[in-house]
Structure 1
């Protein structure tokens, strides 16, 4: 087991920032999915979600696509250092705070790509980020107005609007709703979540990301969904890894072993296959 806990400074807002606090008790869980999340609640950090500014959160999530936090966090930090300290004149809404959308909409593609190169796919991501910044200014006028939209409008409307932006998929949209909007009942599905809940047998083996999300948002109480997302990622990194889950070496090593159906995992032979292929 790794001692690497979720960093205190990231898109979740650290120790606080809004959202809904939850209590975790596996003995009182109504579904298997809730029982898993409650067990994670006994093992990992417990905190609320929300409070991040929406556009920086969107940028941070785009940077995290198809890469690890170890790679994407330095790219985010470099981007903020370079573009988050533009003169106040870069803020069309006035005041002394930088409008990051305005700064990035004027960024040179090559310069931004160089700045975020540690995140991987930097040419593609720089195009997406610049286009997203231009979209925010065109549709909302400022990053501040976009933030208000994310926090105040109905979640379904916010999600559909975000999904209309090129390069923004369901996971990215849901992360903005969760980490910026602090919306309960949002369970973003990344590769870890997709893998884990099909292996456990909670979602169908052939379920795509959206189908897994639908199952989890239906079976996990709304106030536990945000925690379920971040804690499941940590669980996937420590125990239920893609190629070498803990149960292969020791049946008792995984804290979810007694409730897992091990779909696609064969300890007898050491074989690992995607649940879809079972």
Structure 2
């Protein structure tokens, strides 16, 4: 159903900024914020991290306001930019580190940055570093694989990631991430999954345990809140 993409090749710092902007919002909201940020601060003869580190905080917040939580996100972006300059001298130095160092070392480094959680770190590893075997867990991935019965119903994001990175071939993890997001938007939505009204409407119906989905009553709950099957 979904085309497999090529992963890696993106510059690491813009990827980090883009992922921070996407936190707790949709691409529809975060993309204009990212485009506006690049238009204002990403100049050909200037390092983006250097530009953002000294940017006026209120101006930066206004620029990314479409992404929501703009005060917090502007602070996180500036702190990340300042840290990258201190540790790697430039956005280019950070990009070299992300692409050449061992993935687990890079992941732990990214997680030390204020505002960077597992999903953000893994997205940088996947889309900038091109690392195989990395399966970022966003809200769609977390919901779908517990709903399908592949991960335990009460698994947190990290536990779902561990299951997927263990069982999915390394070369397919990146594709699994992006395809699952698309599948979650089109079929396995949080409140009205396709199977709720028509069991045959979902292309994965024959592989899904429907944990927390009850077509008989029209009820949908988080898999962690679903009663155990007898």
TM range (shorter): over 0.9
Aligned residues: 226
Instruction: Name the CA distance, whole Å, in 1 between partners of 2:197 and 2:48.
Output: 47
Which has the larger share of helix? 2
Segments of 5+ residues of structure 1 without an aligned counterpart are: 1-42, 89-97
1:113 counterpart (47, 61, 64): 61
Where 1:252 maps in the other structure, the secondary structure is helix
- 1:65-80 matches, within 5 Å, as 65-80=23-38
Q: Hey, what does 1:25 align to over in structure 2?
A: none
Matches of 1:200 and 1:265 in 2, distance apart? 10
Gaps of 5+ in 2: none
Q: How many angstroms apart in 2 are the aligned matches of 1:69 and 1:84? A: 20
Matched, 1:60 2:8: no
Asked if 1:274 corresponds to 2:218, the answer is no
Q: Which one of 231, 250, 265 corresponds to residue 198 of structure 2?
A: 250
Is structure 2 residue 112 aligned with structure 1 residue 154?
no
Give CA deviations for 1:85-115 in whole Å, capped at 9, x if unaligned.
27x3xxxxxxxxx311000001111000000
Tell me the distance in 2 between the aligned counterparts of 1:175 and 1:156.
13
Q: Distance in 2 between matches of 1:207 and 1:46?
A: 27
Mapped to 1, the partners of 2:181 and 2:31 lie a distance apart of 16
Where 2:199 maps in the other structure, the secondary structure is: coil
- CA-to-partner distance for each residue in 1:213-234, whole Å, 9 max, x for gaps? 0000000000000000011000
- Report matched runs for 1:112-191 at 5 Å: 112-191=60-139
| Deviation (angstroms), 1:46 | 1.4
How far off its partner does 1:45 sit?
A: 1.3
Q: Does residue 1:83 correspond to 2:31, yes or no?
A: no
Alpha-carbon distance between aligned partners in 2 of 1:199 and 1:132, rounded to the nearest angstrom: 35
Cα deviation for residue 48 of structure 1 reads 1.5
Please name the residue that 1:202 is paired with.
150
Q: Distance in 1 between matches of 2:122 and 2:96?
A: 16
Q: 1:241 aligns to what?
A: 189
Moved over 6 A (4+): none
- TM-align CA RMSD: 0.7
Rounded Cα–Cα distance in structure 1 between residues aligned with 2:166 and 2:57? 41
Report the CA distance between 1:254 and its aligned residue: 0.3
Q: What is the CA distance between 1:64 and its match in structure 2?
A: 0.4
